[in-house]
Structure 1
């Protein structure tokens, strides 16, 4: 049930219209490998990636190569994403918000340029591994900072939001939060979507300063 909620919520946040019941029906026929719509293709890729993370999280090093591989799996069934699976973006993109019907509400914030993306991703993943090794920051702080910087960079042409939530799950499991497969972080984000987007937008202007906003309350 938690997995179905996670897959349904995470894809709906990005504009999918499939209900949890439709997601459950699709997952029961996943072996058929036949998906009629983009929503179904996205759900299938997300489901396969979640299954991999839950079963092999101990054996997935947190580095650029594996992040790219996870992105490739995420978009495995997405026909229109075939050209850029597992590759950093080559065109500018931005973080957009969507309503329940899948209609785009607007841009949440601008993201890194394609030119800067490889350098920024290398720096981010190096920082995560260094901080994990030092053991001075709480794991949740490291994960939270990773997620917001990852979304600020928006390294891939598409699938960044979904991948950020899978990577959150991976990092939580690797940090010892064993309950993660039995709860749905994605459904919490979906229920608080406005606050989620507001926090991202507030962070945009201060993420690389000494006085971050959006941390009150």
Structure 2
């Protein structure tokens, strides 16, 4: 069985878990947007998740192309491998979002999710929903889809059924006993799943589907509204490095969990921070602030401060027009003015 006794709860891990859990608790208050706005946030996040997760594995479809494809999913016929993978990922994500409470984590359900994930993938027809019959290893790809090298070796086909049985048993026992924080349980499950790499293809995409499923089941209800996959895509080198550092030690007496736990929790931190910004932006729009005023506040949030020159460069708007918008956000208490003359700058209260 897996050995997690040596997981070190460092100050950084504690801080990350505390911030993520604080956001989880605050989501009820943050999530008071109108239903149509929440629906719009989820739609955008879903497109980002599907696009990013498939691009991590070599797809070349942009988010805009993904959105066009999703608008025509009912055609059920997709010409390219990229389109087939996007269609399958979209359907599995929809299933997880709508039925996460009714999907127990068993080997059979994991196989079913894999089968659905590769439903439209013609090249995977012979092995979808079944553990691998041939050895596989994880390769890294560049922006053009070319393979840049082997990231790590995976479990043998012979060992895979036993290792998956052990992993699923460990997960369910860990969730029942509650000795490990739920976020650490999810992180360990994902990294070991990827170390086993139980299916011939689709393991990376399925790991991210399972991450979303497990987070929803652990009570992180905000997950559908912010794309974790997009965060990972933007940190792809760090993702592969953390995987490699931890996975090389998993089958030793003292696994080194720290690299992966730090990467995973930092990614979750970025996910919730992105969503917090989006929700605050939506509230500003709901408060009938003009778009330029919202952009001024956004800049201050992202950079800690904002000047007139910053917004002129960012938006191309005239100084006279922007003066009126700065005046408005100051009067309404969204920003506070510092300095005078050319040294004037603005920050959040």
| TM-score in terms of structure 2 length | 0.61
Cα distance, 1:101 vs. partner? 1.1
1:70-105 alpha-carbon deviations (Å, 9 max, x no partner): 000000000010000100000000111111111111
Structure 2 residue aligned with 1:212, among 252, 256, 265?
256
Structure 1 residue aligned with 2:120, among 47, 61, 77?
77
1:53-72 alpha-carbon deviations (Å, 9 max, x no partner): 00000000100000000000
CA contact (8 A) 2:133 2:200 kept: yes
- Looking at structure 2, the residues matched to 20 and 211 of structure 1 have their Cα atoms a distance apart, in angstroms, of 37
Cα distance, 1:208 vs. partner? 2.9
SS in 1 for 2:125: helix
Matched, 1:141 2:172: no
Matched, 1:94 2:140: no
Tell me the residue number matched to 1:179: 222
In the TM superposition, what are the counterparts of 1:1-217 in structure 2 within 5 Å?
Answer: 1-209=44-252, 210-212=254-256, 215=259
Over aligned residue pairs, what C-alpha RMSD do you find?
A: 1.2
CA contact (8 A) 2:111 2:130 kept: yes
Structure 2: gaps spanning 5 or more residues? 1-43, 263-349
| TM-score in terms of structure 1 length | 0.97
Number of corresponding residues:
217
SS in 1 for 2:152: strand
CA contact (8 A) 2:85 2:117 kept: yes
- Looking at structure 2, the residues matched to 26 and 205 of structure 1 have their Cα atoms a distance apart, in angstroms, of 38
SS in 2 for 1:83: coil
CA contact (8 A) 2:215 2:223 kept: yes
- Looking at structure 2, the residues matched to 125 and 214 of structure 1 have their Cα atoms a distance apart, in angstroms, of 21
Cα distance, 1:206 vs. partner? 1.3
